[in-house]
Amino acid sequence: MNDDALRYAERLVPRSYIDLARQARRSHEQQIRQIIEHRKLPEQPLEEHVIEQWINEMAQMDSNNFEGNVGVGEREGRIYSSLVARRHSLLSHGIGRSGDINAIQPKAAGSSLLNKLTNELVLDAIHALGLRTITHAVVIPMATGMTMTLCLLTFKKQRPQSRYVLWSRIDQKSCFKSILTANLEPIIIEQIENNNYLQTNVDEFEKQIHKFNPHEICCIISTTSCFAPRAIDNVQQISNLCQKYSIPHLINNAYGLQSTKIIHEIEQAKRSNGRIDYIVQSTDKNFLVPVGGSIVLTYDSKLFDALSHAYPGRASITPTTDMFITLLSMGKKGLLDLVQKRKNLFNLFYEKLIQWTKDNDEYILSS
């Protein structure tokens, strides 16, 4: 109820009681105003009923939810099932337009606001996690593999003569298939064994760059999060090669936002003037939401715009809404508490694993 309605309510309920309700409402409004104004995560989590009410209010800003409105155009956000409508909080327009996934929808001011604000909150979360030099973040409504394909196609458009991708081998299908789906040819750089680890063969990367014309190389893909005994790729040295030979660099950081070590490696690579174009990570693996979304990070506004323009047509708002709700439910404190909890649990697990290895004549690979 607005202030006028509350004044009329004072005729039915004592004013002192209405004033208490008015104060509670203003407190919630102040929280929301600050988030929109500063485009930052709240320090403390928002209560779920506040988040739900806010989303419902934004949904009412979309034309398909205007009272008495009957849409007859192409994009009216019609929903047959009331269950589906409730499941999606009446947000049926999606995000973006045919030429840009971040474009404002004329008939969907609420959905557009939610999309823009979520990307800003994600960027603030990324900064809080340690990637402080990142300047742009966007939630893409596709999982990591397909989003990497989108990045590769963006590079391909900028480098039409290119046909190869130099790829530090990882035995996981998504990354490999993302290259093939983009109709590019992977040049697989095998790892080298060092102290029982498989590590990045930086020398072989440079040999392959000399073997092929750098203009024929679409990009180099490095991987930060992987399974033992493969170690984190040497992101810093690869980024230096990319800078030296003017080759785009795509980082497969699927799980990496939850690891302070990986974040440090990426941050150091950028601070040492290495080249990093796009960093791709999963929403579900890093932020505890359902599968279906990813986050692309970049340091360059032109690269950000190029990726946004590369996405064909409109897109689902569901992964964005999931991230919006989750980030507000966590708040900055909740997010950082999860990172600290992960560290504590790792130390506990490591101590117990050491004891197990002693009892069973095994040893742990530890960098």
Question: What are the start-end ranges of the E strands in the chain?
Answer: 136-140, 164-168, 185-189, 192-194, 197-199, 217-223, 249-252, 278-282, 294-298
Instruction: Tell me the C-alpha distance between 198 and 190, whole Å.
Output: 9
- 105 among the known binding-site residues? yes
Strands 249-252 and 185-189, sheet pairing: unpaired
Instruction: Tell me the C-alpha distance between 142 and 164, whole Å.
Output: 24
At position 223, the amino acid (one-letter code) is: T
For 6, 236, 304, the CA distances from 87, given in Å and listed in that order, are: 31, 44, 31
Name the 3-class secondary structure at 197.
Answer: strand
- 169 among the known binding-site residues? no
At position 179, the amino acid (one-letter code) is: I
- 98 among the known binding-site residues? yes
Instruction: Tell me the C-alpha distance between 101 and 119, whole Å.
Output: 12
- 75 among the known binding-site residues? yes
Burial of 327 (0-12, 13-18, 19+ CB in 10 A): buried
89 backbone φψ class: left, alpha, beta (φ>0; ψ -120 to 50): left
- 271 among the known binding-site residues? yes
| Binding site as annotated, residues | 75, 97-98, 105, 271, 314
| Binding site as annotated, residues for pyridoxal 5'-phosphate | 75
| Binding site as annotated, residues for substrate | 97-98, 105, 314
| Binding site as annotated, residues for tRNA | 271
